[in-house]
Amino acid sequence: MNFILVNIKELLQVRTSASKILKGKALQDLPTLKNAWLHIENGIIVDYGEMKDFKIDSSIKSIDCTGKIVLPTWVDSHTHLVYAGNRESEFVDKIKGLSYAEIAAKGGGIVNSAQQLQETSEEELYKQSKIRLQEVIAQGTGAVEIKSGYGLTTAAEMKMLRVAKKLQEDFDLPIKTTFLGAHALPKKFNGNTKAYIDEVINKMLPKVVNENLADFIDVFCEKGYFELEDTERIIKAGKKYNLPAKIHVNQFTSFGGLQLSAEENVLSVDHLEVLTDEDIQHLKKSTTLPVALPSCSFYLGIPYTPARKLIENDLPVVLASDYNPGSTPSGNMNFVISLACIKMKMTPEEAINAATINAAFAMQVENEVGSITKGKRANIIVTQPIHSYAFLPYSFGSNHIEQVYIKGNPQIHNS
């Protein structure tokens, strides 16, 4: 495939060389070219420029983008999109006033999803997950991290990760997998968290590594789930196998998990709906990336990650969806961007940076995606004709994406 997008109203996130993680004030800098062209060959961005310097080559197909904005696809660095069935009954419980913890105590929550997943065949799990992946691609996602954690047995955790790996093989976009065996304590362990962590580390992890099923490791560090000592054991076990850690932490409580994660310099700390000044100081001493999941805050009605506070402290921000059946039954990154602007008071520039280039760093695909850079994959979004890029987060709930290219291949086929 060799084609040129021409007359692009504005080409966003144009970066000439390997970029750095954007922190503090730098998050506001979104480099763009107005009235631009973009040349894609063999699935790769080969060149771009302004129309005034464009030299027509009639041997190359050109696609007119008058009035349209072009940007790199969203990078979703935190999802659980491989899962079985749904949890609408808990949704109704939630409407009636039950909290996340009360629903879990009633037998709902993660263990409910684990039960469904254990009873679902690998083929069926793949079928359900593929539909979700196709859905988010059509919504503009062009790289995705997928966690296990709804298996909670060796066989079921490996089933999840194999499904994620098959998605990686069948779809030509960067997919990274994370082993989250320590997501919740299975009932059969009768409250014995230590015994389960032993099993995760000594039984599950070696098998996962042996079959090359995971790029990262994760643990739900939260009261009622896993404590600091469990979290530390998981991070250290990951290090032994060269799996960087991405930690679920500070979703409901700040009790030292962030300090621990930052001191271990994990790749990312995700959620952070509850974030103390002390936590911020620990983050400042590390290279750990803070990842906000605003759709989870929206759905559960919990605080939003204080992005402004992170930015004022010269820290980076990453935005991701957290697509999962319990706390965030949506993987729509456009909605994430809207929430970041509307609820977290991020500017459109900050939100777009946080969901593209910074997010690429949070899943270690910064050399492949996240910006319009020569040599990167041509994973790009073409909008409908719109007034400006701020219109994307502003017009929340509407779809303004006309086409999504993955490695230069159009993904939306209008009949």
Ligand X SMILES: N=CN[C@@H](CCC(=O)O)C(=O)O
**Which residues sit at the interface with ligand X, rule CB under 6 A?**
109-110, 113, 220, 248, 251, 296, 322, 324-328
H or E element, residue 221: strand 216-221
CA pair distance 341, 335, nearest whole angstrom: 10
What is the nearest approach in angstroms of Zn ion to the Cβ of residue 396?
A: 22
Pick what 296 binds: ligand X, Zn ion, none; C-beta below 5 to 8 Å, kind-dependent. Answer: ligand X
Please tell me whether 218 is known to bind a ligand. no
Q: Are 311 and 21 in contact (CB under 8 A)?
A: no
Pick what 327 binds: Zn ion, ligand X, none; C-beta below 5 to 8 Å, kind-dependent. Answer: ligand X
Pick what 68 binds: Zn ion, ligand X, none; C-beta below 5 to 8 Å, kind-dependent. Answer: none
CA 290 to mean position of chain CA atoms: 12
Please tell me whether 254 is known to bind a ligand. no
Helix, strand, coil shares of the chain, percent, nearest 5, are: 35, 25, 40
CB closer to Zn ion out of 269 and 378: 269
CB closer to Zn ion out of 273 and 322: 322
What is the nearest approach in angstroms of ligand X to the Cβ of residue 115?
A: 12
What is the nearest approach in angstroms of ligand X to the Cβ of residue 247?
A: 11
CA pair distance 364, 142, nearest whole angstrom: 14
Tell me which residue has its CB nearest to ligand X.
Answer: 326
Pick what 259 binds: Zn ion, ligand X, none; C-beta below 5 to 8 Å, kind-dependent. Answer: none
Residues of span 304-323 touching Zn ion by CB under 5 A? 322
- Tokens linked to 337: 């961007």
Angle of helix 348-355 versus helix 333-342 axis, rounded to 10: 140
Please tell me whether 80 is known to bind a ligand. yes
CB closer to ligand X out of 24 and 329: 329
Please provide the distance, in angstroms rounded to a whole number, between the alpha carbons at the two ends of the chain. Answer: 22
What is the nearest approach in angstroms of ligand X to the Cβ of residue 10?
A: 34
Task: Mark residues 320-359: x for contact with Zn ion by CB under 5 A, - for none.
Answer: --x-------------------------------------
What is the nearest approach in angstroms of ligand X to the Cβ of residue 44?
A: 34
CA pair distance 278, 231, nearest whole angstrom: 19
Label the pairing between strands 32-41 and 2-12. antiparallel
Q: Which residues are CB-contacts of 369 (< 8 A; sequence separation ≥ 6)? A: 72, 73, 75, 142, 143, 174, 356, 360, 376, 377, 379
Q: Tell me the CB-side half-sphere exposure of residue 129, using CA atoms within 13 A.
A: 32
Pick what 326 binds: Zn ion, ligand X, none; C-beta below 5 to 8 Å, kind-dependent. Answer: ligand X
What is the nearest approach in angstroms of ligand X to the Cβ of residue 104?
A: 8
CA pair distance 205, 218, nearest whole angstrom: 11
Please tell me whether 150 is known to bind a ligand. yes
Pick what 108 binds: Zn ion, ligand X, none; C-beta below 5 to 8 Å, kind-dependent. Answer: none
Q: Where are the beta strands (DSSP E) in 242-360?
A: 246-249, 268-271, 289-292, 318-319
What is the nearest approach in angstroms of ligand X to the Cβ of residue 174?
A: 21
Binding site for Zn ion (CB under 5 A): 322
Q: Which residue numbers belong to the known binding site for Fe(3+)?
A: 78, 80, 248, 322
Q: Which residue numbers belong to the known binding site?
A: 78, 80, 87, 150, 183, 248, 251, 322, 324, 326-327
Q: Which residue numbers belong to the known binding site for 4-imidazolone-5-propanoate?
A: 87, 150, 183, 251, 327
